[in-house]
Amino acid sequence: MIALVAGFGLTTAQAQEVKLGAKAGVNFAKLTGDDVEDADGRTGFHVGVLAEIPFADRWAIQPEILYSQQGLQAKEDFFDGEIESKLILDYINVPVMVKYYLTDALSVEGGPQFGFRAKAEQEIEITGSNDDGDGIEGTTDLKDSISGFDAGVGGGLAYQLNNGLFLQARYVIGLTNVNADDDEGAFGDDLTNSNLSFSLGYKF
């Protein structure tokens, strides 16, 4: 009975240290693969909520739920004009980071990330290719061509301020094929996500 009470007390004390928070920031996302090596990355944003759960001295687990804009874009000459193509891949990402505090403020983190496709579109804009100079625009839904699930692994650094604000930098590299069909994907046979993000958040 004494051990049970002591264990309950320890669990309660740790639960009181759990911190909830929110964060938002900028993404510098790209796809990695032979067919897109000349394409540019897509700059977007991420926003979401998190919890920091201590489980040992200086150690914590930080699960998050984020809406994240990713993808790529490319621009090239097209006859007497220019064609710009943008692959828009938005995800609901669930990273689960294990954190270790090097100091009371600075921590390193690493762990898996699980992504669920929220949006998959290709936008194409052709400019300067007809006589009146008007551009041609079009959007194609790619949900049937893009996998609904994405898995990756990430790592990063975070700095916690005394007022609850924190700064964070993280890089996540994908482990699964972006295409829904491994053999006949719309953008190549083997494409994976990668994303460098910088965040500003608050824990309370």
Domains (range + CATH), the chain: 19-75+87-120+146-203 (2.40.160.20)
**pLDDT over threshold 80, residue 185:** no
* pLDDT given for residue 34 in this prediction: 74
Please count the CA atoms within 13 angstroms of the CA of 68 that sit on its side-chain side: 30
Residue 100 sits at φ, ψ, to 5 deg, of: -130, 125
Kindly indicate the confidence band of residue 13, based on its pLDDT and cuts at 50, 70 and 90: very low
pTM, rounded to two decimals: 0.85
Q: What is the pLDDT of residues 97-115, one digit of tens each?
A: 999 999 999 999 999 999 9
Q: Which of 27-41, 74-88, 149-163, 174-188 has the lowest mean pLDDT?
A: 174-188
Please name the residue ranges forming H helices in 68-141. none
Q: Which of 102-116, 130-144, 167-181 has the lowest mean pLDDT?
A: 130-144
**pLDDT over threshold 70, residue 133:** no
Name all contacts of 60-63 with Cβ < 8 Å and 24+ positions apart.
60/98, 60/99, 60/101, 60/107, 61/96, 61/97, 61/98, 61/99, 62/95, 62/96, 62/97, 62/98, 62/99, 62/109, 63/94, 63/95, 63/96, 63/97
- Of 166, 66, 52, nearest in space to 98 by CA: 52
* pLDDT given for residue 84 in this prediction: 83
Please name the residue ranges forming H helices in the chain. 2-16
**pLDDT over threshold 80, residue 128:** no
Query: Residue 146: beta bridge partners?
Result: 179
